Amino acid sequence: MSKMKDEKLDFLFQGILSLKNVEECYNFFEDLCTVAELLEMSKRMLAAKMLYENHIYSEIAEVTGLSTATISRVSRCLKYGKDGYTTVLGRILEK
Protein backbone atom coordinates (compact mmCIF):
# COMPACT_ATOMS: atom_id res chain seq x y z
CA MET A 1 0.00 0.00 0.00
CA SER A 2 1.27 3.46 -0.89
CA LYS A 3 2.35 5.80 1.91
CA MET A 4 0.72 8.61 -0.07
CA LYS A 5 -2.72 7.00 -0.23
CA ASP A 6 -5.48 9.25 1.08
CA GLU A 7 -8.99 10.40 0.20
CA LYS A 8 -7.83 13.52 -1.64
CA LEU A 9 -5.60 11.53 -3.97
CA ASP A 10 -8.32 8.91 -4.42
CA PHE A 11 -10.67 11.71 -5.53
CA LEU A 12 -8.08 13.05 -7.98
CA PHE A 13 -7.42 9.61 -9.46
CA GLN A 14 -11.15 8.90 -9.75
CA GLY A 15 -11.42 12.12 -11.73
CA ILE A 16 -8.58 11.07 -14.02
CA LEU A 17 -10.10 7.62 -14.53
CA SER A 18 -13.40 9.26 -15.55
CA LEU A 19 -11.77 10.90 -18.60
CA LYS A 20 -12.81 9.26 -21.84
CA ASN A 21 -10.31 10.47 -24.46
CA VAL A 22 -7.17 12.51 -25.09
CA GLU A 23 -9.14 15.72 -25.66
CA GLU A 24 -10.80 15.40 -22.23
CA CYS A 25 -7.33 14.78 -20.76
CA TYR A 26 -6.01 17.97 -22.36
CA ASN A 27 -8.95 19.96 -21.00
CA PHE A 28 -8.69 18.54 -17.47
CA PHE A 29 -4.91 18.70 -17.13
CA GLU A 30 -4.70 22.22 -18.60
CA ASP A 31 -7.14 23.30 -15.88
CA LEU A 32 -5.37 21.31 -13.15
CA CYS A 33 -1.69 21.95 -13.91
CA THR A 34 0.56 24.73 -15.08
CA VAL A 35 2.10 24.45 -18.53
CA ALA A 36 5.49 23.84 -16.90
CA GLU A 37 4.10 20.98 -14.77
CA LEU A 38 2.52 19.31 -17.81
CA LEU A 39 5.68 19.65 -19.87
CA GLU A 40 7.78 18.19 -17.02
CA MET A 41 5.46 15.19 -16.68
CA SER A 42 5.53 14.62 -20.44
CA LYS A 43 9.34 14.72 -20.43
CA ARG A 44 9.47 12.15 -17.61
CA MET A 45 7.05 9.90 -19.48
CA LEU A 46 9.19 10.16 -22.63
CA ALA A 47 12.30 9.41 -20.57
CA ALA A 48 10.57 6.32 -19.15
CA LYS A 49 9.68 5.18 -22.67
CA MET A 50 13.25 5.70 -23.87
CA LEU A 51 14.69 3.86 -20.85
CA TYR A 52 12.19 1.05 -21.44
CA GLU A 53 13.56 0.88 -25.00
CA ASN A 54 17.17 0.81 -23.66
CA HIS A 55 18.29 4.27 -24.80
CA ILE A 56 21.31 5.76 -23.00
CA TYR A 57 21.10 8.65 -20.53
CA SER A 58 22.96 11.13 -22.73
CA GLU A 59 20.52 10.56 -25.60
CA ILE A 60 17.52 10.86 -23.28
CA ALA A 61 18.90 14.08 -21.79
CA GLU A 62 19.45 15.51 -25.25
CA VAL A 63 15.95 14.62 -26.48
CA THR A 64 14.02 15.55 -23.33
CA GLY A 65 16.10 18.31 -21.78
CA LEU A 66 15.93 16.48 -18.43
CA SER A 67 18.88 16.35 -16.08
CA THR A 68 20.64 13.04 -15.63
CA ALA A 69 19.50 13.14 -11.98
CA THR A 70 15.85 13.20 -13.08
CA ILE A 71 16.49 10.47 -15.66
CA SER A 72 18.12 8.41 -12.92
CA ARG A 73 15.05 8.86 -10.72
CA VAL A 74 12.79 7.67 -13.56
CA SER A 75 15.13 4.72 -14.08
CA ARG A 76 14.94 3.78 -10.39
CA CYS A 77 11.14 3.89 -10.59
CA LEU A 78 11.23 1.60 -13.63
CA LYS A 79 13.52 -0.88 -11.88
CA TYR A 80 12.43 -0.71 -8.25
CA GLY A 81 9.18 1.24 -8.13
CA LYS A 82 5.53 0.21 -8.05
CA ASP A 83 5.51 -0.70 -11.80
CA GLY A 84 3.40 2.33 -12.68
CA TYR A 85 5.53 3.33 -15.66
CA THR A 86 5.87 -0.29 -16.77
CA THR A 87 2.12 -0.89 -16.63
CA VAL A 88 1.32 2.22 -18.65
CA LEU A 89 4.13 1.74 -21.17
CA GLY A 90 3.21 -1.89 -21.69
CA ARG A 91 -0.35 -0.91 -22.44
CA ILE A 92 0.28 1.99 -24.78
CA LEU A 93 3.24 0.49 -26.64
CA GLU A 94 1.45 -2.75 -27.45
CA LYS A 95 -1.22 -0.85 -29.41
77 DSSP assignment: H
Percent share of the chain, pLDDT over 70: 99
Asked: is 35-95 a CATH 1.10.1270.10 domain? The reply is yes
> Tell me: the pLDDT tens digits for 15-58?
999 999 999 999 999 999 999 999 999 999 999 999 999 999 99
In the chain, domain spans: 1-32, 35-95
Global pTM value: 0.90
Task: List C-alpha distances in Å: 43 to 29, 56, 61, 70.
Answer: 15, 15, 10, 10
